[in-house]
């Protein structure tokens, strides 16, 4: 019974944490991670989660990549984004920031000599 009362008391705090998450945005990323993300698909641009973007093959001046979700956990940034065009699809880029930002396992494609990546 005490456990239930404790959970009920903590519920508003836990709910507040979930609501405090803001839309995925390039400006929320550290500059070093942002630069590495842009280098993957250079030249490319990303639309923030709440901004318009171009999901088609037709070039219209809007970014063809659209941030969906970003999570920072223990110094590791997980970034999920949509890539527009024919065969619209989603990528996941996982960057460990120590000792410098670099892709790690869990990414859609970790560059290696035998792997051709299309970010």
Which residue ranges make up each domain of the chain? 24-119
pLDDT for the residue 70: 96
The answer to whether 76 touches 48, Cβ cutoff 8 Å, is: no
How far apart (Å, rounded) are the C-alpha atoms in residues 91 and 84? Answer: 11
| 0.85 surpassed by pTM | no
pLDDT (tens digit per residue) in 77-95: 999 999 998 888 999 999 9
pLDDT for the residue 34: 96
For tokens 């923030």, the residue is 48
Residue bearing the bigger pLDDT, 2 or 44: 44
């Amino acid at each position: 019974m005490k456990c239930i009362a404790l959970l009920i008391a903590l519920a508003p705090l836990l709910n507040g944490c979930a609501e405090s998450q803001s839309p995925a945005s390039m400006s929320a990323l550290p500059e070093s991670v942002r630069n590495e993300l842009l280098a993957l698909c250079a030249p490319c641009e990303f639309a923030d989660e709440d901004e318009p973007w171009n999901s088609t093959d037709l070039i219209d001046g809007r970014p063809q990549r659209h941030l969906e979700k970003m999570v920072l956990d223990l110094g590791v940034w997980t970034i999920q984004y949509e890539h527009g065009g024919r065969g619209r699809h989603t990528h996941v880029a996982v960057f460990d920031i120590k000792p410098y930002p670099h892709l790690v396992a869990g990414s859609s494609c970790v560059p290696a000599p035998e792997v051709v990546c299309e970010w």
